[in-house]
């Protein structure tokens, strides 16, 4: 059981802030996911508009997410 969740959250935010972005690794992950989707037959879609409603809903949610503050402000 966590006795001090505020301190844990501060440590997590600090860790994330200090962590460097590895663009090459991120592209490798995306590429691997793409090839797996192709192997599973998910891509290319048989009909290109399959799931367009879900895609639109996801895009609306993602575009409405506010950025988190960069400082330890509450």
pLDDT in tens, 3-55: 888 999 999 999 988 888 888 999 999 999 999 998 998 888 777 787 788 88
Distances (CA, A) of 62 to 30, 56, 57, 66: 18, 10, 9, 9
73 falls within a domain? no
53 falls within a domain? yes
72 falls within a domain? no
Strand segments (E) across 1-74: none
Tokens of 53: 């409603």
What total number of domains does the chain contain? 1
pLDDT of residue 66: 66
**Distance from the Cα of residue 7 to its chain's centroid:** 24
45 falls within a domain? yes
Report cis status (omega within 30 of 0) of the bond before 18.
no
Q: How far apart are CA 36 and CA 33, in angstroms?
A: 5
Which structural domain, as residue segments, surrounds residue 56? 5-63
71 falls within a domain? no
């Amino acid at each position: 059981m966590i006795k001090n969740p505020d301190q844990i959250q501060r440590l997590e935010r600090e860790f994330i802030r200090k962590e460097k972005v590895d663009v090459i690794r991120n592209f490798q992950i995306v590429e691997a996911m793409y090839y797996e989707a192709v192997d599973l037959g998910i891509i290319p879609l048989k009909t290109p508009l399959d799931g367009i409603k879900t895609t639109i809903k996801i895009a609306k949610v993602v575009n409405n997410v506010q950025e988190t503050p960069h400082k330890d402000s509450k």
